[in-house]
Amino acid sequence: MIPAPFDYVAPSTVDEAVRALADAGEDAKVLAGGQSLLPVLRMRLAAPTTVVDLGKIGELKGVRDEGDAVVIGAMTTHYDVQRDPLVHDHALLLARATDTVADPQVRHRGTFGGSLAHADPAGDLLAPALALDAEMVIQGTGGRRTVSAAEFFQDFFTTSLAPEDILVEARVPKHTGWTAHYEKFNRVAQAWSMVAVAATVRAEGGTIAEARIGLTNMASIPVRATAVEQALVGRSADAETIRAAAEHAAEGTSPTVDGNADVEYRQHLAKVLTGRAVEAAMAG
Amino acid sequence: MTAMAEPEVGRARVRKEDERLITGRTRWTDNIALPGMVHMALLRSPTAHARITAIDTSAAKEMSGVIAVYTGDDLDPGGEVGMPNAWPITPDQKTPRRPMLAQGTVNFAGEAVAAVIARSAAEAEDALAEIDVDYEDLPVVLGLDNAVADGAPLVHEDMGTNKSAEWIFDSAAAGSGGDVQQAMSSSDVVVTRRFRQQRLVPAFMEPRSVVVDPTAPQLTMWSATQVPHILKTMVAMTLGLPEHQVRVIAPDVGGGFGGKLAVTPEECAAVVVAQKLGKPVKWTESRSETMVSAHHGRDQMQDISISASRDGTITGLKVDLLADMGAYLGIVGGGVPVLGAFMFNAIYKIPAYRFSCTTVFTNTTLTDAYRGAGRPEATFAIERIMDELAAELGMDPMQLREKNWIKHDEFPYTTVSTLTYDSGNYEAATAKAMQLFDYDGLRREQAERRARGDRVQLGIGISTFTEMCGLAPSRVLGSLDYGAGGWEHAAIRMLPTGKVEVVTGASPHGQGHETAWSQIVADQLGVGFDDIEILHGDTQSSHKGLDTYGSRSLAVGGIAVVKAAEKVIAKARKVAAHLMEASEDDLEFADGKFTVRGTDTSTAIQDVALAVFAAHDLPEGVEPTLDSEAVYDPENFSFPHGTHLCAAEVDTDTGQVRLRSYVSVDDIGKVINPLIVEGQMHGGLAQGIAQALYEEAVYDEFGTLTSGTFADYLVPSAMDLPSFTTDRTETAATSNPLGVKGVGEAGTIASTPAVVNAVVDAVRHHGVDDIEMPLSPMRVWRAVHKGDTAAGGPGAEAGGGLGSIDSAHGGAQ
């Protein structure tokens, strides 16, 4: 469990980091907390020639208010996201999902942007980012660009980040006054999600005015349960409506098979958990 | 005037060893660094079964920092060295040679193939990738049924079979009971099940590590082992070294659970390499290596039949086991299932019993002792089938148990498997457990939930268990062809300043021996708890011992300590009488003082120790020492027992199981330290529950361990477990002077069937009568909604389920 040798650089600005990545070529890896990368290095599943540590770049940390969006720096730790009042007030779903990430040690070291860039389909922050229509701000050698979450996640562990790109921050449109719930299903407390459902709703009286549902680990990328959303909007939030809407949860999903779940069981779970997530979100 | 000191035995003392163990500021083997020390890394086979056609080490030898690269033939050119199996269960047992590094073939994925020695651990690991091995694939043998099928490919071709041995016990032949076939054919009801004991990984906290220093005529080996004494003798025998020139030290050891009851290829390879190079060598494994190369536990297929009359009286029990040994036999090997043979009859009066076990080779990591070793497997099967029999008979499962268990006034009781249980009170433990659990209230709630078709169903699981501990009377081990005895050694050194050193042969690896032994000696000698140091694990100071496993330390090693203390007092009495000019017969010894009866003339044992050290004025013929040694060989096993009750909630929509409450009432005899007992119970329960719900070592069709990390091999945390209600009854063991029985394995043995019984009970009305372990949500959901309860592993036929009345035996109603 000793990584293969590599060069280590710890730039202090994003510009330096992008340059370091460009200089290092395709065999460089970004270290953004290390909760996924370090095990991979130790098991020698990856042997990069250079590791670029973003941990010393102050501009990548923290959450700020930008009018219609909450902007979360990529190197903000899960622990800081969990406790941030802006996130709580305007992107509650992210806070709820972050609460379920691994264990306290991981949440103190792991980062928001690191999780998104790693793009593990069982990671808990992808579906909320998708459901909230987050935009990813990326800096590469050609400057900055912004891509939607839907464009950002491309496949298992694959995003639209080029080798020399750095995820700088995520702009999350404000969902002020929306209630939210992240329904996570796993076998032991600190394990990855077998399936999870991210649900956030805006209610007007007893009616669901808007709903956003994202599914974790139901495909190679996070999935938006649009059919469920459509079946909810404009309806009163009674148990039967929610149950019927949740029946659509597996539509368009293509989950993987592992020792914990086959396709049939995962799709069944997606429906059950979607119903529970929406109910809990409605309950606030 | 002075009140009697509060006895140390029975006090809930915080463990004196914990600070250094928890902070890691101690001598873990991997913390040891010696001048000139080099590091060993092992290349392990990625394939489960292959012929090695070539190994090219030339590139690895050129790597930075590399000192040497060895293959199996380099270390053992004659192909003569094989790791020991100390328990050939039958005279014709087939025992393949297990080399230090693979020679000719690899027989499981993870077997070591070559060793790199380098200046640093990192350089050694870097060079592994440069070794080029050519493998020619051989057919992979996986799964018990496959391995024993006609025409199955062979793990060891030269043996001509995958069967290692067949061991049989028949009560009719032994004269301890009737003929089981006859009993079953004349019984009202026969219930038959096939239970699968999945394979588990012992998952000790400290990975294995060894340091060998050959730079003196007496070679020193540090190892993270449970068994330094056994290791010393076995390394000498295995490698042909003179035993007096081997010193083994188990410094502080971070857990074992049986997983470090081993003499490993890695340890022996480190010795040979150190001798070749004349330099100290260290090998410390990674967690990934532990998972594939340290021995696993369990892995049995259990075919079990129980017969009874309509009123619930058990008439017979028949067990046929297939036990997966993996690719080789470990030090206990086939002895693990054989230990279980004595425990299937459990606490019940069973008139006829037959047990057979076939030990089988497959291309997997070897299996050997794991917490409970044979007894959890047996307890699981009997306690599960008792519930199935109760369901078949329409009886309350506790009433069925009560009808058949040994009553408290029937002890000592000789069982159908020939053990004599000295003591026990199953009624008392059960009554206490039922009351703490609110059995009747939970049964009411269960009925209500069923009646209203609640999404969450409630089940109650029972496990009334016993186990054989205190391994073991040497003559019994001899009768079972085990390679050693079961005694234990202790020594006491009275120091001139009145302090006490206690040497124990039971080498701890987290159990708290230092605290418990100090409490025992404090009471025996009347010295302060803090004035006692326990020495262990170094064959130079602790020259004799049989180490720690099978809940033996207290019931055997603790008694040796008592016997040694008695000898110290006997010696001191002579000297004290001389010092006080009194007759020995007139002296009373209490609270560390010899007092002349009826006077206030007294002398403390510390003063006697100083007088003996000075030796200026000793009685004629008395040697100037109070030090003593004792070796204790138990006359019988000890038999802890208990009643465990589990309430499980099953979410029928998802199959998720949540344990709502868990009550254990254990009878482990006299208790030295209730806090240590509590710790053992909690850890044991967690491990047993983990088998029921979470843990499984899974191989794919190629023989690759797919659960090779803790992301896939699910060890539960406190978050996943309920708050345990633990209590005790106390029925003293009559076979030893402390009345103790042992607690190291009780929780693990008892809890697995309690949990599975609870889950099956929760969904029995859905037609479910078994679910294969671990009870993952998907398995539970499938059982409820698809009637799929397969026992037998992936792709196997459904097992325990249908036709619980076996009409073939003429008992169908």
DSSP per-residue codes, A51-109: EEEGGG-GGGS-EEEETTEEEEETT-BHHHHHH-HHHHHH-HHHHHHHHTSS-HHHHHH
| Probe site for chain B from A184, A264, A265, A271 (most B CB atoms < 10 A) | A265
Please check whether residue B245 is in contact with residue B223, taking contact to mean a CB–CB distance below 8 angstroms. no
Contact B719 A190 (CB under 8 A): yes
CA distance B742 to chain A (A): 30
| Residue B566, pLDDT above cutoff 70 | yes
What pLDDT digit, counting tens, does each position of B132-187 carry? 999 999 999 999 999 999 999 999 999 999 999 999 999 999 999 999 999 999 99
CATH architecture for residues A179-282: 2-Layer Sandwich (3.30)
Contact A189 B776 (CB under 8 A): no
Q: Is B638 helix (H, G, I), strand (E, B) or coil?
A: strand
Contact B698 A259 (CB under 8 A): yes
Give yes or no for A205 touching B (CB within 8 A). Answer: no
Please check whether residue B466 is in contact with residue B346, taking contact to mean a CB–CB distance below 8 angstroms. yes
The pLDDT value recorded for residue A102 is 94
Q: Which residues of A touch B778 (CB under 8 A)?
A: 260-262, 265
What pLDDT digit, counting tens, does each position of B577-621 carry? 999 999 999 999 999 999 999 999 999 999 999 999 999 999 999
The distance of Cα B742 from the centroid of its chain, to the nearest Å, equals 12
The distance of Cα A29 from the centroid of its chain, to the nearest Å, equals 20
Residue of B169, B254, B275 whose CA lies nearest to B204: B254
Render B213-267 in DSSP notation, one character per residue.
E-SSSSEEEEE--S-HHHHHHHHHHHHT--GGGEEEE--S----TTTT-S--HHH
What pLDDT digit, counting tens, does each position of A104-118 carry? 999 999 999 999 999
Give yes or no for A264 touching B (CB within 8 A). Answer: no
Q: B647 CB contacts (<8 Å, ≥6 apart)? A: B437, B442, B458, B459, B460, B461, B659, B660, B661, B662, B758
Please check whether residue B351 is in contact with residue B315, taking contact to mean a CB–CB distance below 8 angstroms. yes
The pLDDT value recorded for residue A25 is 87
Question: Mean pLDDT, to the nearest integer, of B307-314?
Answer: 98
Q: Tell me the β-bridge partners of B532.
A: B500
Please check whether residue A278 is in contact with residue A245, taking contact to mean a CB–CB distance below 8 angstroms. yes
Give yes or no for A190 touching B (CB within 8 A). Answer: yes
Q: Which residues of B touch A272 (CB under 8 A)?
A: 653-654
Q: For residue B13, what is the DSSP state? A: P
Give yes or no for A189 touching B (CB within 8 A). Answer: yes
Q: Which residues of A touch B707 (CB under 8 A)?
A: 259
Name the residue of chain A whose CA is nearest to B699's CA. A259
Give yes or no for A265 touching B (CB within 8 A). Answer: yes
The C-alpha atoms of residue B544 and residue B542 are separated, in whole angstroms, by: 6
Q: B97 CB contacts (<8 Å, ≥6 apart)? A: B79, B82
Contact B717 A188 (CB under 8 A): yes
Q: B677 CB contacts (<8 Å, ≥6 apart)? A: B668, B671, B728, B743
Tokens 């609270």: give the residue.
B591
Q: For residue B618, what is the DSSP state? A: -
| Residue B781, pLDDT above cutoff 70 | yes
Name the residue of chain B whose CA is nearest to A192's CA. B711
Q: How many angstroms separate the Cα of B134 from the Cα of each of B52, B365, B705? A: 6, 21, 21
What pLDDT digit, counting tens, does each position of B368-390 carry? 999 999 999 999 999 999 999 99
The C-alpha atoms of residue B423 and residue B421 are separated, in whole angstroms, by: 6
Q: Smallest Cβ distance to A5: which of B126, B707, B715?
A: B126
What pLDDT digit, counting tens, does each position of B683-738 carry? 999 999 999 999 999 999 999 999 999 999 999 999 999 999 999 999 999 999 99
Contact B714 A191 (CB under 8 A): yes
Give yes or no for A45 touching B (CB within 8 A). Answer: no
Cβ pairs A/B, distance under 8 A: 57
Long-range contacts formed by B77-84: CB under 8 A, 24+ apart = B79/B103, B81/B238, B81/B239, B81/B268, B82/B238, B83/B238, B83/B263, B83/B264, B83/B265, B83/B268, B83/B328, B83/B330, B83/B331, B84/B234, B84/B237, B84/B238, B84/B263, B84/B331, B84/B483
What pLDDT digit, counting tens, does each position of A20-72 carry? 999 998 899 999 999 999 999 999 999 999 999 999 999 999 999 999 999 99
Contact B714 A187 (CB under 8 A): yes
Q: Smallest Cβ distance to B716: which of A5, A188, A265?
A: A188
Pairing label, strands B724-729, B657-667: parallel
What pLDDT digit, counting tens, does each position of B349-369 carry? 999 999 999 999 999 999 999
The pLDDT value recorded for residue B788 is 79
Give yes or no for A186 touching B (CB within 8 A). Answer: no
CA distance A47 to chain B (A): 11
The C-alpha atoms of residue B633 and residue B757 are separated, in whole angstroms, by: 38
CATH assignment of A58-173, among 3.40.640.10, 3.40.50.300, 1.10.760.10, 3.30.465.10:
3.30.465.10
Fold held by A7-55: 3.30.43
Q: How many angstroms separate the Cα of B291 from the Cα of each of A44, B205, B268, B360, B773? A: 16, 12, 20, 21, 20
Peptide bond into B774 cis (omega under 30): yes
Question: Mean pLDDT, to the nearest integer, of B424-453?
Answer: 98
The C-alpha atoms of residue B252 and residue B257 are separated, in whole angstroms, by: 15
Q: How many angstroms separate the Cα of B742 from the Cα of each of A21, B289, B415? A: 60, 32, 20
Q: Which residues of B touch A194 (CB under 8 A)?
A: 777
Tokens 């193939």: give the residue.
B113
Backbone dihedral angles phi then psi of residue A3, each to the nearest 5 degrees: -60, 155
Question: Mean pLDDT, to the nearest integer, of B771-795?
Answer: 81
What pLDDT digit, counting tens, does each position of B42-62 carry? 999 999 999 999 999 999 999
Give residue limits of the domains in chain A.
7-55, 58-173, 179-282
Pairing label, strands B353-361, B314-326: parallel
CA distance B365 to chain A (A): 20
Pairing label, strands B420-421, A158-159: unpaired
- Compute the 3-state secondary structure of chain B and give helix, strand, coil in percent, each to the nearest 5: 30, 25, 45
Please report which confidence band the pLDDT of residue B493 belongs to, taking 50, 70 and 90 as the band edges.
very high
Question: Mean pLDDT, to the nearest integer, of B28-37?
Answer: 97
Average pLDDT over chain A reads 97
ipTM over 0.95: yes
The distance of Cα B256 from the centroid of its chain, to the nearest Å, equals 8
Tokens 């039967």: give the residue.
A240
Please report which confidence band the pLDDT of residue B5 belongs to, taking 50, 70 and 90 as the band edges.
confident
The distance of Cα B520 from the centroid of its chain, to the nearest Å, equals 24
Please report which confidence band the pLDDT of residue A205 belongs to, taking 50, 70 and 90 as the band edges.
confident
The pLDDT value recorded for residue B802 is 26
The pLDDT value recorded for residue B809 is 34
Peptide bond into B5 cis (omega under 30): no
Average pLDDT over chain B reads 95
Element holding B21 (H helix, E strand)? helix B18-23
Please check whether residue B222 is in contact with residue B210, taking contact to mean a CB–CB distance below 8 angstroms. yes
The pLDDT value recorded for residue A251 is 97
Q: Which residues of B touch A4 (CB under 8 A)?
A: 126, 129
Residue spans of alpha helices (H) in chain A? 14-24, 37-42, 78-83, 85-90, 92-99, 104-109, 112-118, 126-131, 149-152, 226-232, 239-246, 263-282
Please report which confidence band the pLDDT of residue B3 belongs to, taking 50, 70 and 90 as the band edges.
low
From chain A residues 142-171, the ones with a CB under 8 A of any chain B CB are: none
Q: Is A181 helix (H, G, I), strand (E, B) or coil?
A: strand
The C-alpha atoms of residue B231 and residue B86 are separated, in whole angstroms, by: 12
The pLDDT value recorded for residue B361 is 98
Q: Which domains does chain B have, with CATH numbers?
A: 32-138+205-255+260-293 (3.90.1170.50), 169-201+295-471+636-809 (3.30.365.10), 487-632 (3.30.365.10)
Instruction: Give the count of beta carbons closer than 10 Å to the beta carbon of residue B6.
Output: 8
Strand order in the sheet with B532-536: B532-536, B500-504, B488-494, B628-632
The pLDDT value recorded for residue B527 is 97
Question: Mean pLDDT, to the nearest integer, of A155-171?
Answer: 97
The pLDDT value recorded for residue B798 is 29
Percentage of chain B exceeding pLDDT 90: 95
Q: Is A127 helix (H, G, I), strand (E, B) or coil?
A: helix
Residue spans of alpha helices (H) in B117-227? 121-128, 144-148, 171-174, 180-185
The C-alpha atoms of residue B689 and residue B659 are separated, in whole angstroms, by: 10
| Residue B218, pLDDT above cutoff 60 | yes
Q: Smallest Cβ distance to A259: which of B286, B654, B706?
A: B706
The C-alpha atoms of residue A232 and residue A228 are separated, in whole angstroms, by: 6
For residue B353 the two structure tokens come to 């019993």
